[in-house]
Amino acid sequence: MMRHLQAVVVSLGLLMTMSANAKKIANRQTPPLRPNIIFILTDDLDAGSAAFMPRLKALLIDQGVSFSNFFVSFSLCCPSRATILRGQYAHNTQILGNRPPDGGFEK
């Protein structure tokens, strides 16, 4: 009787240990992979210019994502770039033009 009770206690102990480890393994998940994003911003480049740059077309346009339906919140270069890079509208970044003091750099 004592041996039987001892075997039951040992079996229960092993079962509890294994179930605790199984729960830890089940909870240990690999974190989701973050997307690999490379954002390339060009200025004063129209769609027809890509025909003169076949390597650019092969690497970026054919294998990447191209936005064809979009709008800008401010139609000048400096405020638009600041909006894209900072995620804020031009009136929040205080970059309202292409020339100093409202934006841009001294030449």
Q: What is the set of active-site residues? A: 77
CA distance 49 to 58: 14
Determine the longest span between alpha carbons in the chain, in angstroms.
Answer: 96
**Cβ contacts of residue 74 below 8 Å, gap of 6+?**
80, 83, 89, 90, 96
CA distance 10 to 4: 10
**Residue whose C-alpha is closest to residue 83's, from 103, 61, 107:** 103
